Amino acid sequence: MGNRPAEVAAAVGSALVQNDVAVEAVVVANGVPASTVELPADDRLNVVELVENAGIPGGRNEGSEHTGAELIAFLDDDARFVDASVLARCAQTFRRRPALGAIALRIVDEEGRTARRHVPRIGARDPGRSGPVTAFLGGAVVARAAAFSTVGGFPAAFVYAMEETDLALRLIDAGWEIHYDGTPAVFHPATDPARHPAAAERTMRNRVWLAHRSLPAPVAALYVADWLAVSIVRDPRQIRRLLQAALDGWRTRPGPRSPIRWRTVARLTRLGRPPII
């Protein structure tokens, strides 16, 4: 977005120094002139300028289209890889596991801690434990390009919030696996998701969109009701906004509707996250 020049330079630098992998770095200037992005001259670096802000998922999709790599690592502009071995470790895991569609990377903050919301499993226990999961953070993930493109990438209409969950559901429904690597891999400063304007309302609206797009009707109804109740309990002062956001989501629900199969619902449940929570 052009407002974090030092952080962007650190993010790109952490990618370019990765060992034992061939790196292509793509920076998406999302609605800002490419001239605002000050980066070192490097043949492996490509800056893509979008005239209009395509949103977070739209920007990621655009970046993915400017590389022919077999693996795509998505990194937020205020994050960086913690050392030069992260991508090689991921590449080795993908080579060993042909059914693997994505690796969720462990995020740590200034004190080496991993926030609960950054652990992609219910309960967020033991962030150092690797294993199969059903979700990932969009700014700290490595995806197999074939899997990513086959399921259509991120839902650009979401702009911000829940786009990773929607993509994860479609990957799993297509037969791909998602693995969480508990080794610290990405540094991201400790932040509050509420820093984004209308974060709670947008998340609630996008949950309705996700339910419409990707969940069987009975599961979709339970999912929306469950999260609406949870969100209201967390902050009762926002009840009217949350109800309005859910209604707006229903009125404007984007397509296409392609609900996951019931056997995928069962698989998600076996993995510890039935798609109603």
Question: In one letter, which amino acid is 233?
Answer: V
Answer yes or no: pTM beyond 0.85. yes
Cβ neighbours, 10 Å, residue 50: 16
Would you state the structure tokens that stand for residue 223, as one six-digit string?
Answer: 């999912």
CA dist 224 and 230 (Å) reads 10
Question: In one letter, which amino acid is 119?
Answer: V
pLDDT at 197: 58
pLDDT at 2: 76
Query: How far does CA 229 lie from the centroid of its chain?
Result: 24
DSSP string for 237-261: GGHHHHHHHHHHHHHH--S---PPP
Instruction: Give the residue carrying structure tokens 């030092």.
Output: 6
- Tens place of pLDDT per residue across the chain (277 aa): 778 889 999 999 999 999 999 999 999 999 999 888 888 889 999 999 999 999 999 999 999 999 999 999 999 999 999 999 999 999 999 999 999 999 999 999 999 999 999 999 987 779 999 999 999 999 999 999 999 999 999 999 999 999 999 999 999 999 999 999 999 999 999 876 655 658 899 999 999 999 999 999 999 999 999 999 999 999 999 999 999 999 999 999 998 999 999 999 999 999 999 999 8
CA dist 137 and 145 (Å) reads 17
Just give the CATH number of 5-191: 3.90.550.10
Question: In one letter, which amino acid is 122?
Answer: I
Cβ neighbours, 10 Å, residue 218: 11
Cβ neighbours, 10 Å, residue 68: 7
Question: Mapped to the 3 state alphabet, what secondary structure does 169-209 carry?
Answer: HHHHHCCCEEEEEEEEEEECCCCCHHHCCCHHHHHHHHHHH
Dihedral sign for Cα 192, 61, 156, 220, please: negative
pLDDT at 111: 94
Task: For residue 9, give the 3-state DSSP assignment.
Answer: helix
Which residues of the chain are in CATH 3.90.550.10 domains?
A: 5-191
pLDDT at 193: 65
